[in-house]
Amino acid sequence: MVTNAYRLFLNRLCQSCPLKTQCALFNKFAEDQERISLESTSLNHSDIQTIDNNLNVSSLQHCFLCIDILHRYTSDEFMQQIKQTAQTATSDFQSFCVNLSLPLNLLIRHAYLTKFLTNFVGECNEKDLPIIKDQWRNLMIDRLEEVLHRPYQIDSPFEINITFDFSGEKEELESLRRFRYADNPKLAKSNANEGFTRQAVTTILNDLTFEDFEQYYKPAINGKTTCTISALHDSVYVAGRYNKYSRTLSQTPWVIDGIRKAETSVEELIALPISKLVNAKDYVFLSSGREDVDVRTLGRGRPFVIEFRHPSRILYLPEEFVTAQHDINTLTKDVRVRDLQQVTKEESNQIKEGEEEKTKCYEALCYTETQIDQTELDQRLASVPNPIVIEQKTPIRVLHRRTVMTRQRSITELSATVIDPYHFRLLLTTQAGTYVKEFVHGDFGRTKPNLTMILDRFVDILELDVLAVNIDFPPSLKNETDENEKDILCDMNGK
């Protein structure tokens, strides 16, 4: 007895189909059934075990096994389409990898053939049948290396994504739905719009027998295959350090309820000029901590990284970043950038590593409501342990955006210089994440101990500057001129 599957195999396999040459079980089946004799005999539907009396095998428009992927989509013309897409996405990629996304109904057909051959020839498993994705790679990768003039690397940062769609996929997936809900038609109706994942399809196929296939499976004979090509490169990372000299400039765009509260930000003053060099779809600005709007960042500045996503170019000369840095520094007096350079993704991770261990140095202008002289100030500061460990509940001013919890932080250096009886400058080195303003005034007792407790009088903070962020990233560049830099003697322990 001849089945629909047999006729589909013999009559509708494209010239590139690996089933013809690489599947010994299929070749044996063809020989056993005397292919030439069968093909020359007119087909009588009464002799066919059929799932659909209206199935017209001769009208099949595609290869049954590969749905033409190994025929139409391995041509020289298709390779040129891949080349054009790749070069348009990123002009100077150094290697490439290829990701294929195939229609789910290929899983169904592969399982069908496996069970078919097992039924008519002998034991057959998935390894006996060629995998379409593997066959496409075998046919195309070497040729793509020649066309693109780049090596193929499985872990390449440049990905060429090829997605195949089959117009009859939904029709064939309905076969699985009929099998799944064969005993419960009502449930089938209520799940009519249920989507199928690759895992769900694989699970159902494991339960199907050859007899189930013959009863429920209806191959889509008129389906057509289409293809979409896209390409993208991993992000480009640009690092540097910035100084912020304004007390009215936020680090990131300041937007509340959709309304901008400031014309610009540190992020925009730095990233937008670099975006003219590194052309990308979008970017993400990251920094080693952040300062409040009214806080300046002095010294060597605060380390930052900008991730440029989906770049159209990935290789840059150091001189190009020197030019971009100069453009930023001449564009505004509020921000200054140094050590601007391209870094790798792995190097960029240093900005977030050791968040709890790194230290920062600050200078604060403080006010006290009762007079204090240098002698008393020194004595009271000397009375506290070194380091001093403080407990900080989430400050009131950030409760709207931070988790309510108590954080333990340490202050390793603490000294002060009197300006007049009511004002003094405070120098301190703290663990990253310390709320310095709250340490000074106590935040209504939410930070303990605090400077108000130590000096036994109310103390408030008038101005705050970040003097150093002690992290060795990014590397300092030679021939950097440090105009307007304030030399700071700062404890560099605990980098």
> Sign of torsion, CA 263 265 269 275?
negative
3-state secondary structure 242-300: EEECCCCCCCCCCEECCEECCCCCHHHHHHHHHHCCCCEEEEEEEECCCCCCCEEEEEE
Catalytic option among 76, 234, 282, 292: 292
CA distance 473 to 351: 7
Cβ distance 181 to 204 under 8 Å?
A: no
CA distance 254 to 218: 58
CA distance 421 to 110: 87
- What Å distances lie between residue 119 and 111, 210, 213, 218, 366, CA to CA? 12, 7, 12, 18, 88
Query: Which of 26, 225, 213, 48 is CA-nearest to residue 129?
Result: 26
Strand order in the sheet with 225-233: 97-101, 158-166, 225-233
Residues found in the chain: 495
- What Å distances lie between residue 1 and 38, 50, 452, CA to CA? 12, 10, 96
**Among this protein's residues, is 292 annotated catalytic?**
yes
Which sequence positions are flagged as catalytic? 292
